[in-house]
Amino acid sequence: MELAFDSFVLVAATADLADEPAARDHADAVEFRMDMGTDPLAALSGYGGRLPLLVTNRPTWEGGDAAPGSDRVEALERAVEHEAVAAVDVELAALDPDAAVTDPGGADSRPDDRADPAAVRDLVDRARATDTAVVVSTHDFEGTPDRDRLQALLSAAGECGDVAKLAVTADGPGDVLDVLAATWAATAAGETVATMAMGEAGRHSRAVAPLYGSRIGYAPVDPAAATAPGQYDLATLARLVDRLGNG
């Protein structure tokens, strides 16, 4: 399966691949949150769904459940060998520790990737060898950096992967405007990006950002199972995106 990200892709986020049939009516792909799942590699081995998978194994230091020392990078390397896995998410700060926006858990909470970014680069190389797209992501759970910093982060992530993903936390409309402006500037420069402002103040960005060039939208199949603050449920986001003419 393939994901080119040359147009908008609506992704159903879940830790349970059994949700895939319920996502088919609205989603283009499924984000499998390996860090939140039970025996994720076994779940992948048994996957027979129709939708391509974007695999994410998010560490605790960037908002996920994969603890340091959990061999999460090795698990991702094994995951990209699966024929249904079309894309893999890798944190920008894991590839380049100096590129971190914030340290939600503190510097000591990320020794696994800080100690060996070469292992993460090897993962990227393996993904490319298996024709798996690479989404390079960065998250800020505290606020929204200024517009120049947003653009710099998108550019840095774009240099490392096929899609630069940026998720920040908005305190008000001005933050959302900065995200949209950075999205448009990156898109106009020929970069492939996925952007969103988390939190209630930024919620509408998930429907609006594709108009400015964002290529990925994330939503849970079950509203009670949101994987990030401010997410719409899948059916709602699909409807909003369609009405706004994205895609």
25-29 long-range contacts, Cβ below 8 Å, gap at least 24? 25/235, 26/234, 26/235, 26/237, 26/238, 27/51, 27/219, 27/221, 27/234, 27/238, 28/3, 28/52, 29/3, 29/53, 29/54, 29/86, 29/87
34: nearest Cα among 77, 96, 2, 94: 77
Angle at 171 between CA 196 and CA 232, to 5 degrees: 40
The type of residue at 117 is: P
Distance between CA atoms of residues 21 and 242, nearest Å? 21
Q: Which residues are catalytic?
A: 139, 165
- Contact indicator for 12, 19 with CB cutoff of 8 Å: yes
Distance between CA atoms of residues 57 and 162, nearest Å? 18
* Numbers of helices and strands, H then E, in the chain: 10, 8
